[in-house]
């Protein structure tokens, strides 16, 4: 069996791992990057996650009323595939051009705390490393529903973003962020979309008024949202499948050409041989790490979704900074340094949020003030009218005792950009009054802050 000894071994070509590998390689360290599939160079985001889904959402938003959906959808998938192919090649090149970095395609498995076996077909390679970083990401959770796993029509998000065949009828299991993004996307391309959610409402982590606004927009577009739904089985026929579910004691059924499983993702640790290395996991199956992202083996780190933190690409990137600080810096960076981390759900318009909701802020004992307005009613935001997207709302949660912004929920055009300004304000103590009275460019979406925050109550 061939052997290799390196300073750093990274398992998984995700954002955090590839960034760290490139950085250490440029410092002259011997680095091995192991990725189990050459179709995943660059990680989830560019191949099956953020980039392809948002590209398809963008193309869906460009559809005109008279555009035939079927050819438009095929063209959108083809162009998105070209984009991901280009980005995958660039990501491979980013590491392949660094002399001290070796990219290895194969499955990695710990055989002891300091040794990893990489296998590809009949080939085996033993890699020993002074430092190991696990960056294997997360994988879809498939619920134990009779007939679902065996169904020929069951799909994950990975399957759908690569499939040029548009399902005429799509049933989505789960009304979380992924499920709602796909619901809006496929509805715009003409699919009949039914979303089945077990909970009492969609987006339970959001304030009810914000979640209701999102649900209202999707319903207006023709998406059928069913809450309180318990899926009882999936039965295939010759050319479709039937999803059976129960609501309030009544049995129902929905026929579908595809069933999207959007019931969450879990850390991808199967087959890594963590037990052989003495690496502990949490009750949820994530690799257990401390505030420096060290595992129970001090020379092994876990970054990105696999460590059970927030499942965002930019968190994985920040994870790489924390590990780099341990390896080459003063070692003071921790996960506790993160304050006011925002996120966006790319519905149309997108929902972006940072900080606590109104309900959470009240539970935490703040003297809460709320500034909220419907986007269509904000006179100081002509951009929404210019681009023809006046749906949604803006909501700020303020500590009235200090005038500090605690959080915000922005359901509006450009919210994925606006939320970064709000997050920066929270981190640096910019008050609600300062945001309200700031001078913003015109016409822009940011100038809505002038009017919305003036409505603080």
Show which residues are catalytic: 442
Q: Which residues of 129-146 are buried (b: 16+ CB within 10 A; e: fewer)?
A: bebbbbbbbbbbeeeebe
In angstroms, what CA-CA distances link 288 with 133, 269, 331? 13, 12, 19
Phi, psi of 123, deg, nearest 5: -85, 145
Alpha carbon distance, N-terminus to C-terminus of the chain:
70
Instruction: Mention every residue, 6+ apart, whose C-beta is less than 8 A from residue 146.
Output: 232, 233, 234
Instruction: Copy the structure tokens of residue 445.
Output: 């979406």
CA distance 21 to 263: 32
Helix-helix angle 15-26:69-96, to 10 degrees: 30
| Nearest-angstrom CA–CA distance, 384 and 409 | 17
SS3 97: coil
> Which distant-in-sequence residues (6+ apart) come within 8 Å of 195 by Cβ?
171, 172, 174, 175, 179, 180, 183, 202, 218, 223, 224, 225, 226
Instruction: Report which secondary-structure segment, H or E, holds 419.
Output: helix 415-427
**What burial letters (b/e) apply to 237-271, b meaning 16+ CB within 10 Å?**
eeeebbbbbeeeeeeeebebbbbbbbbebbbbbee
Phi, psi angle pair for 14, to nearest 5°: -80, -175
- State the number of CA atoms in the 13 A half-sphere of 13 facing the CB: 31
Q: H helices of 254-389, where?
A: 274-277, 313-328, 358-363, 382-386
Strands (E), 99-142: 101-105, 107-112, 115-120, 123-134, 138-140
Please give the structure tokens belonging to residue 77. Answer: 């998938």
Tally: H helices and E strands in the chain: 14, 22
Cβ atoms of 8 and 24 closer than 8 Å: yes
How many angstroms separate the Cα of 255 from the Cα of each of 143, 193, 224, 240, 445?
19, 11, 13, 7, 41
Contact criterion met (CB below 8 Å) for 395 and 210 = yes
């Amino acid at each position: 069996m061939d052997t290799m000894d390196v300073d750093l071994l990274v398992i998984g070509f995700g954002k955090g791992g590839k960034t760290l590998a490139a950085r250490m390689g440029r410092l002259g360290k011997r680095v091995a990057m192991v990725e189990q599939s050459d179709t995943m160079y660059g990680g989830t985001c560019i191949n099956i996650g953020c980039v392809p889904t948002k590209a398809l959402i963008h193309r869906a938003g460009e559809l005109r009323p008279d555009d035939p959906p079927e050819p438009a959808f095929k063209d959108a998938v083809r162009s998105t595939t070209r984009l991901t192919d280009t980005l995958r090649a660039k990501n491979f090149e980013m590491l392949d051009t660094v002399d001290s970095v070796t990219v290895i395609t194969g499955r990695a498995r710990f055989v002891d705390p300091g040794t990893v076996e990489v296998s590809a077909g009949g080939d085996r390679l033993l890699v020993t490393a002074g430092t190991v970083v696990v960056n294997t990401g997360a994988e879809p959770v498939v619920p134990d529903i009779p007939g679902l796993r065996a169904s020929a029509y069951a799909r994950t998000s990975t399957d759908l973003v690569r499939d040029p065949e548009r399902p005429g009828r799509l049933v989505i299991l789960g009304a979380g962020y992924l499920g709602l993004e796909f619901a809006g996307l496929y509805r715009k391309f003409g699919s009949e979309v039914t979303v089945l959610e077990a909970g009492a409402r969609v987006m339970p982590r959001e304030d009810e008024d914000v979640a209701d606004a999102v649900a209202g927009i999707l319903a207006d577009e023709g998406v059928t949202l069913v809450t309180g739904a318990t899926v009882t089985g999936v039965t295939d026929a010759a050319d479709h499948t039937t999803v059976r579910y129960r609501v309030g004691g009544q049995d129902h059924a929905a026929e579908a050409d595809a069933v999207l499983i959007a019931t969450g993702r879990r850390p991808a640790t199967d087959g890594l041989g963590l037990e052989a290395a003495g690496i502990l996991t949490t009750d949820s199956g994530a690799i257990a790490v401390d505030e420096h992202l060290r595992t129970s083996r001090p020379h092994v780190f876990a970054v990105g979704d696999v460590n059970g933190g927030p499942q965002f690409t930019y968190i994985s990137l920040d994870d790489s900074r924390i590990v780099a600080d341990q390896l080459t810096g003063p070692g003071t960076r921790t996960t506790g340094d993160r304050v006011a981390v925002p996120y966006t759900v790319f519905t149309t318009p997108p929902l972006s949020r940072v900080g606590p909701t109104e309900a959470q802020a009240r539970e935490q004992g703040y003297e809460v003030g709320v500034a909220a307005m419907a986007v269509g009613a904000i006179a100081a935001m002509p951009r929404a009218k210019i681009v023809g997207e006046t749906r949604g709302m803006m909501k700020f949660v303020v500590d009235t005792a200090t005038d500090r912004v605690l959080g915000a929920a922005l359901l509006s055009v450009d919210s994925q950009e606006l939320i970064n300004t709000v997050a920066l304000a929270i981190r640096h103590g910019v008050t609600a009054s300062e945001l309200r009275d700031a001078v913003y460019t015109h016409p822009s979406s940011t100038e809505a802050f002038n009017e919305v925050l003036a409505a603080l109550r």
